[in-house]
Amino acid sequence: MLTLYTYKQCGSCQKAVKFLKAHGIAFTEVPIREQPPSLEALNSMLATYKGELKKLFNVSGGDYRALDLKNKLAHLSTDDALALLQSNGNLVKRPFVLSPSFNCVGFNEEQWSSLL
């Protein structure tokens, strides 16, 4: 079963939900702000992106800017960065997708079509 972490007011998340429904793909939707991904899920996604922490962060978000993560992220340990993501769903790039066959963040219709 595919798990899709979303934020209702996020345009990319809305497109992702519409895409999955249009293609008849079953999924569980999780509100990312209220229920951020677990450390296990974040570690799984980090492995997908070969350890590139920045790929997991919503770099255009207000919380990212408010915490000055543009300048601080490179100096955080992996454990500290993942703990930060797990504690604040606003920091996580969305949509955040976990499935048995693939993981990804963000919505790109062409990429999703090839993955699904």
Query: Residue 112: its pLDDT value, please?
Result: 86
What range defines the domain where residue 58 resides?
Answer: 2-115
Percent of the chain with pLDDT over 90: 88
Q: Which residue has 């899709």 as its token pair?
A: 4
Contacts of 17 (CB under 8 A, 6+ apart): 4, 6, 29
Q: What stretches of 23-68 show up as alpha helix (H) in DSSP? A: 39-48, 62-66
Q: Phi first, then psi: what are they for 9, rounded to 5°?
A: -90, 5
Q: Rounded to whole angstroms, how far apart are CA atoms 93 and 5?
A: 10
Number of structural domains in the chain: 1
Contact 96, 5 (CB under 8 A): yes
Q: What's the CATH number where 58 sits?
A: 3.40.30.10
Q: Please state, rounded to an integer, the average pLDDT across all residues of the chain.
A: 94
Q: What local confidence, expressed as pLDDT, does residue 111 receive?
A: 87
Is the model's pLDDT at 116 over the cut of 80?
Answer: no
pLDDT at 101 over 90: no
Mean pLDDT of 71-92: 95
